[in-house]
């Protein structure tokens, strides 16, 4: 029954999709002006629990009714169903990942990959500590201790006021400054109780949270990791011994 509910809702999402906050979406030539209605009488239940869709600023979203068809807020519902959704402003393509069964609290990405422990080699640890040592008062090295299967560290480099870990499928930046405050976003609580913020400065969603005396920002540059996976990776960031 659970899969049937998810399948039904995901089908509706594909039929009628709305995109919010997509930069340049009105610059195209294939747009048609319509007259539609917001239906505030429709409510949602997912797996028996009441769900209220909201945008990145926490504002309640209502379904749109047009020509007797109801269009649902795709991003809000897809996140509730643990399915990733990404909008490519260059191609105009919306990609929705397939929901996968939880694994110890993890939700897989589009390939169903699970999180695994990251093992840094001696040379990598030395390189990481060297990059952090370039900053006065910011020398303690921190690093992500988990990643998706088949992901690996490509390089680590200090630049500006941060140290950036570049993996094949994700990036993690550690900085003494919080750049997320410049953007509207959605506050979330990680599984370890830490408050974090999702925001989208371009077409890639970013997650920032405070860890000790610094701020950590994560994102998936190829959009292959779901929000749930990035939140799990965020919890794993710790001091490098």
Domain boundaries, the chain: 2-96, 115-239
**pLDDT averaged over the chain?**
78
Backbone φ and ψ for 239, nearest 5 degrees, come out as -65, 140
* Long-range CB pairs of 92-95, under 8 A, 24+ apart, other chains included: 92/28, 94/17, 94/19, 95/223
Q: How confident is the model at residue 225 (pLDDT cuts 50, 70, 90)?
A: very high
- At residue 57, the pLDDT reads 63
Which residues does residue 76 pair with via DSSP β-bridges, in sequence order?
Answer: none
Q: 85 versus 191: which is more confidently predicted? A: 191
CB 148 within 8 A of CB 109: yes
Q: Which of 20-24, 83-87, 130-134, 163-167 has the lowest mean pLDDT?
A: 20-24
Write a three-state SS string for 42-80.
CCEEECCEEECCECCCCCECCCEEECCEEEECHHHHHHH
CB 198 within 8 A of CB 206: yes
Q: How confident is the model at residue 224 (pLDDT cuts 50, 70, 90)?
A: very high
Closest CA to 236 of 161, 148, 156, 157: 148
Beta strands in 91-191 (DSSP E): 93-96, 115-117, 142-143, 146-148, 153-159, 162-167, 171-175, 185-189
99-122 residue pLDDT tens: 433 333 333 343 334 789 999 999
How many CA atoms, within 13 angstroms, populate the side-chain half-sphere of residue 107? 18
Is pLDDT of 83 > 70? no
Q: Compute the average pLDDT of residues 71-92.
A: 65
Is pLDDT of 18 > 90? no
Is pLDDT of 33 > 70? yes
Q: Compute the average pLDDT of residues 205-219.
A: 95
CB 144 within 8 A of CB 236: yes
123-148 residue pLDDT tens: 999 999 999 999 887 789 999 999 99
Percent of the chain's residues with pLDDT above 70? 70
Is pLDDT of 8 > 60? no
Q: 3 versus 191: which is more confidently predicted? A: 191
Q: How confident is the model at residue 26 (pLDDT cuts 50, 70, 90)?
A: very low
Q: Cα(161)–Cα(159) distance, rounded to whole angstroms?
A: 6
CB 185 within 8 A of CB 197: yes
Burial of residue 233 (CB within 10 Å: 0-12, 13-18, 19+) is buried
Q: 48 versus 150: which is more confidently predicted? A: 150
Closest CA to 236 of 204, 211, 214: 211
**Domain 115-239 CATH assignment equals 3.40.1360:** no
- At residue 203, the pLDDT reads 87
Closest CA to 197 of 217, 222, 175: 217
- At residue 3, the pLDDT reads 44
Backbone φ and ψ for 150, nearest 5 degrees, come out as 70, 10
């Amino acid at each position: 029954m659970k899969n049937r509910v998810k399948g039904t809702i995901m089908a509706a999402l594909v039929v009628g999709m709305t995109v919010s906050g997509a930069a340049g979406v009105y610059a195209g030539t294939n747009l048609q002006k319509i007259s539609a209605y917001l239906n505030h009488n429709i409510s949602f239940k997912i797996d028996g629990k009441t769900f209220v869709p909201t945008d990145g600023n926490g504002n309640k979203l209502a379904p749109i009714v047009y020509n007797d068809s109801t269009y649902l807020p795709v991003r809000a519902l897809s996140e509730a169903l643990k399915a990733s959704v990404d909008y490519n402003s260059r191609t105009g393509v919306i990609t929705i990942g397939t929901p996968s069964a939880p694994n110890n609290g993890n939700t897989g990405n589009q390939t169903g990959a699970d999180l695994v422990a990251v093992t840094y080699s001696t040379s990598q640890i030395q390189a990481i500590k060297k990059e952090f040592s370039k900053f006065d008062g910011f020398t303690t090295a921190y690093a992500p201790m988990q990643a998706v299967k088949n992901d690996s560290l490509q390089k680590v480099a200090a630049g500006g006021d941060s140290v950036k870990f570049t993996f094949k499928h994700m990036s993690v930046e550690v900085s003494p400054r919080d750049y997320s405050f410049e953007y509207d976003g959605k506050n979330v609580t990680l599984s370890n109780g830490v408050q974090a913020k999702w925001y989208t400065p371009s077409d890639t969603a970013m997650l920032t949270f405070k860890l000790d005396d610094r701020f950590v920002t994560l994102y998936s540059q190829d959009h292959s990791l779901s929000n749930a996976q990035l939140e799990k990776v965020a919890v794993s960031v710790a001091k490098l011994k």
